[in-house]
Amino acid sequence: MNNVHEVMILDAVRLPRAVAKPEAGAYANYKAVELLKPLYKALEERGDFKASQVDDVLLGCNTQVGDQGANIAKISAMFAGWPDTVPGATINRFCCSGLDAINLGASKIAMGVNSLVVAGGVEHISRVPMFSDKGAWFSDPAVIKSSKFMHMGLSADLIAGMEGYDSETLNEYSLRSHQRAADASKSGRFGRSLVPIKGEQGEAIIASDEGIRPNASMEKLAQLPTAFGKFIDQVKPMVDAFYPGVVFEARHTPANSPALVDGASLVVMASRSFCEEQGLKPRARVISFAEASDEPVRMLTGHIRATEKVLERAGLTADEIDLWEVNESFVAPTLKYQKDFNIPDDKFNVNGGAIAMGHPLGATGGNLVSMLIDELEERGLTKGVVSICGGAGVGVATLIERVEPSE
């Protein structure tokens, strides 16, 4: 990407992810704008910029109805007490929405349209469940047929069959995700980015990501039933038409699938010239980004196409990337991504991912950016990729580079 202006990342914050449960979840009594409010406050307190200097707020959100309707980006900024003069826009590219919002903000800065942008996302599944927007893609029979819709979990099972991943292989990856996330959480490696919601007495409602299972074992995972088997027969004729001869059977269990969680994340970006003028110290820079799509039956491989574009634009090969944060949108597509780019285990999702900590849809992009920057700093490494796949085949990827404090 030939930037007119270098795009610098000043900071990235996120909420601890809470298991989504209507009425009973840790965040169930909070509105979506209340999930975002402490993050807005934290960015302003941790940085040396003023909210009045922010040119735009861009948030990803997958299900934009109810509490999350009516342009939550703009309304949440106002709810947090930011000036009425700060604009806002809400973006939907399915699970990629938050990362796409960050990339859109980066492009506006790169072209000199904006100097300071806050981007990220939110998803409050306890109060606004997936599919509650009743979109035509999954509710209109004519659109379902023409767009070849099927549930993402079935696409994951299809990829498992295409790649030959058996249940043991899927469970081994799931166990690794939980073990790595448990170790990272216990050792405080998420501490810099986590901003909890606090109760009336100043106590954190939750202090860490709820979904992590430190006591998970292969024996326990093997006892879980498959999650999507009852839908196989409904879509098998369509799958057979696209992929004749591929073994298509239920393989993913709830443990091989990303947990549904509530969450929010924010990333603040600025041009290098603005940073220099204001004396701001960036943590990273955005080098390249891309969006792409694969065909919608296999669906969960669009991020592979997007990553290929990112690397080509940057003139890099996969082995030149130090760390990868790839959303664990079911195990099979995650393993395929790692295989296609030949990524060693010690560079790939080193602190676990959505299989352990959950996938808050629109908030995931900012979550992964924050985790990547923190870990690049922790290890003294330089380049990292964030990548997410989404519904109907879409995918988004972003390449960032850590900067030294003196830069």
Catalytic choice (61, 96, 275, 389): 389
Nearby residues of 131 by Cβ (< 8 Å), 6 or more positions away: 63, 138, 139
Is 95 assigned a catalytic role? yes
The span from the first CA to the last CA of the chain, in angstroms, equals 20
Q: Position of tokens 């039956």?
A: 297
Nearby residues of 201 by Cβ (< 8 Å), 6 or more positions away: none
H and E: helices and strands count for the chain: 14, 10
Q: What are the DSSP calls for 29-60, one per residue?
A: TS-HHHHHHHHHHHHHHHSS--GGG--EEEEE
Separation of alpha carbons 291 and 367, rounded Å:
18
Nearby residues of 187 by Cβ (< 8 Å), 6 or more positions away: none
Nearby residues of 24 by Cβ (< 8 Å), 6 or more positions away: none
Separation of alpha carbons 326 and 313, rounded Å:
19
Catalytic choice (95, 96, 178, 252): 95
Q: Which pairing describes strands 383-389 and 323-326: parallel, antiparallel, or unpaired?
A: parallel
Of residues 325, 337, 393, the one with CA closest to residue 95: 393
Q: Output the six-digit token pair for 42.
A: 């934290």
Catalytic residue IDs: 95, 359, 389
